[in-house]
Amino acid sequence: MVKKQFISVILARGGSKGIPMKNLTLVNGKPLIYWTIAASLASKYIFETFVSSDSDDIISYAKSQKVKTIKRPGKLAQDTTTSAESLVHAIDKILENYEPDYIVLLQPTSPLRTSNNIDESCFKILEEKTNCLISVCKVDNKYLKILFESENGFLTEFNNGNFTFKDRQSLPKTYLPNGSIYIVKLKNFIKTKRFLDDFTSKYLMTKKSSLDIDNFSDIIKANKEIKNFKM
């Protein structure tokens, strides 16, 4: 059994409501998933790259890029399927031949994430000795004052109202997961099935590099940005 520190997993299902076969849609002349595969292969930390998919077309393309593949059952490629559920399936297959310390989850819908972003994230989780790392971008902390509508139609406060009437300067810094990079310590994830715990490292990315492909307008943005892109 091969023991290495970091193995990456790219979860790329075939179905997509916004863009049909989104992960194979061309971005600057290459399938969307190419940019994530290329970043993973260029990483100095990633020992092996796996693509998990229910789609034969995606599996075939991944093999052409010289990465490992995992055929995912259709029941784990539904709109309601969580990333954690799909990753558990992938890990079970990976553990047949490998024994990594960390799993790096890379979503194929983040084409502007670079190999340097991946390497800095891997370095940071090792340096900070945490169980999890999530890539994020900054968001305005005013949203901590948000109010929710209860089932009976009345307003209720977020976090028991601890932030609602505080001045902005007193509010904590806030970040939004951008979906680009998740790193989990394997032993911890097997126990918790979670990407977040009380000691989770953050990897800060710019709003531009945090672009997440959800619709055709995002494809247009990606085409524009990726022309001057350095992997």
Tokens of 94: 């990976």
Tokens of 41: 């292969």
What H or E segment, with its residue span, contains residue 230?
none
Question: For residues 147 and 173, what is the distance between their CA atoms, to the nearest angstrom?
Answer: 19
pTM for this model (two decimals): 0.89
Q: What is the pLDDT of residues 91-130, one digit of tens each?
A: 999 999 999 999 999 999 999 999 999 999 999 999 999 9
d(CA 117, CA 133): 12
Residue for token digits 């055709």?
216
Which of 10-19, 45-54, 61-70, 134-143 has the lowest average pLDDT? 10-19
Determine the 3-state secondary structure of 173 from DSSP.
Answer: coil
Choose which CATH entry (3.40.50.300, 3.40.50.1820, 3.40.630.30, 3.90.550.10) describes domain 6-138+175-226: 3.90.550.10
- Domain ranges within the chain, ordered by starting residue: 6-138+175-226
What is d(CA 203, CA 65) in angstroms, rounded to the nearest whole number?
A: 27
Report residue 145's pLDDT band, with 50, 70 and 90 as the boundaries: confident
222: Cβ–Cβ under 8 A, 6 or more apart, which residues? 27, 28, 32, 111, 112, 211, 213
Q: What is the pLDDT of residue 33?
A: 97
Helix 56-64 to helix 32-42 angle, to the nearest 10 degrees?
40
pLDDT of residue 1: 65
